[in-house]
Chains A and B, each alone.
Chain A
Amino acid sequence: MKAVAWHGKHDVRVDTVDDPGIVNPRDAIIKVTSTAICGSDLHLYDGYIPTMQAGDILGHEFMGEVVEVGPQSTLTKGQRVVVPFTISCGSCYHCGKQQFSACDNGLPADNQDIARELYGQPMSGLFGYSHMTGGYAGGQAEYVRVPFSDVGPIVVPDGVEDEQVLFLSDILPTGWMAAENADIEPGDTVAVWGCGPVGLFAIQSAFLMGAERVIAIDHFPNRLALAKRFGAQIVNYEETAVYDALMEMTGGIGPDAVIDAVGLEAHGFFVDNVIDQIKASTFLGTDRAHANRQAIIACRKGGRVSMPAVYGGFVDKWPLGAFMEKGLTLKTGQTHVQRYLPALLTAILEGKIDTTFLISHRMPLSAGPEGYRLFHDQQDEVTKIVLKPGMDR
């Protein structure tokens, strides 16, 4: 089969590889119909995530048709499913508490050592996202082996388009959990850094959860326009001093909750960010975290910090003093995708959440490398690229 594979920094190719097959009893094989390139895939593309190996198949946002099932799978051939990016067993203590991304058993035993060294305990497996997260082949391919298929994938009703539900795989539940982690109370003002897909879904979710006002911060005009479309007030950090604007807009209080939907590749020409870039390029520090610092400084006293953004390693100059003195609360984590799927599918079918607005580009799978280059170079124009293997067939 054909698959989009990583070969090094800014080197993504379409490879011909073995077809997947059933290995374990709970497996299913999915024939991919739609698969998206995620903003976090750009972290791989830019070489920020360790333990990638040449030939690794990328992609963790995908859906398709069930074509083969193991004896313990609850799926049946011909069903259409969306697959969560987290590989979780459904049987361990953490899955029992609905903490699916903290699953004990999603990672192969040999792959758990790196995360144990880096994080203390290993997390769930992820599709197509380095060997630290399991070395599982990803969904930017014609076919994918899906472990624990009785727990993860959600079956999509007939008559629903791929593009309505594809984002259940990652970014919609991630944006939803970001808003949930902000513990929004009616009347709150919520500030969201980053108007990529997760930020835009967090904005919609925050309003659904009762936020009176959402303020969106970015520098891409097209993304800010989308945020405005969902009712957010917008701040372009290239034109406006963010802290000053937020304080003025909130009557000197600061936002009740702040959401960092930017993560480890924060843009912007600020002194601490430039130092971060120098350190990152010399491997002294791996994460660039300007947005996160700014969010903590702006947040009101006793407020909440939600961090859906991806961080992998260490940061310094993190304002721990402000965090402590103001008595902030931080909630974060990889998304517990499986927890949110049924309710979010219902919300989509009822028209409460708009998902299709996001897609700016549709391409055949064979154009994957072009898609990565485009997404990397044109982040204003490109909001979401969906690869469709069927366009090659």
Chain B
Amino acid sequence: MAEQHDDGSAAASKHPHAAGDAFAHDTGDAITAQAVTINRPVGEVYAFFRDFTNLPTFMENVVTVDLLDDTRSHWAVKAPGGGTVEWNARLTAQEANSLLEWTSEDGADVPNSGRITFRDAGARGTVVTATIVYDPPGGIVGKVIAKMFQREPAIQARRDLRRFKQLMETGEIATPAMNRRQFEEMGL
């Protein structure tokens, strides 16, 4: 495994295997990390995200998130050709206004894990960074992943974070739809 000698994240590394550094508890070697700065206080941003039932309002392919208990949740995500794929996710770490880490439980159709960090950025608001580790696309899993993340997880995560930012900063999500009917066709 190549070592990094600068302050860039593992996901930005030019070395192909640096991604393995990101999480000790997942062996998937595809990784994406995206950061966005949201012009709202960290407490507000964390609280909205921590209520996972809010996530479908800005995550394009997430249909529902149901809370099972304090750390476990059930996810339903749009699948290719209609229908959904579903799994349970478990929080593996959480620190208020700072950090959320999760992993999918055994038996998930699309094994995944990740980390969201929240950092107070003073007058600029809050820096939110999402790091997602997932099995590399291939076979049926790859198809589901491709659909779930529209093209690839990096693009989907980036777009979902932008929508999160828009919702927190403006109270709505920007759309070019001319009317409700077009909006229903376009989706988020």
Contacts and interface: CB of A to CB of B under 8 A. Distances in A.
A279 B104 CA distance: 53
A105 B170 contact: yes
Interface in B132-188: 155, 158-160, 162-163, 165-166, 169-183, 188
Contacts of B37: 93
Given A91-B39, A92-B39, A104-B165, A21 B178 contact: yes
A201 to B, nearest CB: 29
A304 interface: no
B166 to A, nearest CB: 5
A125 B170 CA distance: 14
B174 A125 contact: yes
Contacts of A392: none
A109 B174 contact: yes
A19 B175 contact: no
A105 to B, nearest CB: 5
B124 interface: yes
Interface string A80-92: 0000000101111
B20 interface: no
Nearest to A125: B174
A354 interface: no
B41 interface: no
B125 interface: yes
Contact of B175 (A23, A72, A112): A23
Contacts of B173: 24, 108-109
Contacts of B171: 25-26, 72
Contacts of A24: 172-175
B178 A145 contact: yes
Contact of A93 (B124, B155, B162, B172): B124
Interface in A111-169: 111-113, 125, 131, 134-137, 145, 147-148
B125 A23 contact: no
Contact of A135 (B125, B162, B163, B176): B176
A19 B178 CA distance: 8
Nearest to A116: B158
A19 B179 contact: yes
Contact of B169 (A92, A125, A147): A92
Interface string B46-88: 0000000000000000000000000000000000000000000
A350 interface: no
A91 B178 contact: no
A18 interface: yes
A389 interface: no
Contacts of A19: 178-179
A142 to B, nearest CB: 12
A171 B178 CA distance: 25
Given A112-B162, A135-B176, 4 more contacts: A18-B179, A23-B177, A108-B176, A134-B174
The 4 closest A-B pairs by CB, nearest first: A21-B179, A109-B162, A135-B176, A24-B172
27 contacts: A18-B178, A18-B179, A18-B181, A18-B182, A19-B178, A23-B175, A23-B178, A24-B172, A24-B174, A24-B175, A89-B166, A89-B174, A91-B39, A92-B170, A93-B124, A96-B39, A104-B169, A105-B165, A106-B174, A108-B173, A109-B160, A109-B163, A109-B166, A109-B174, A110-B159, A135-B176, A136-B176
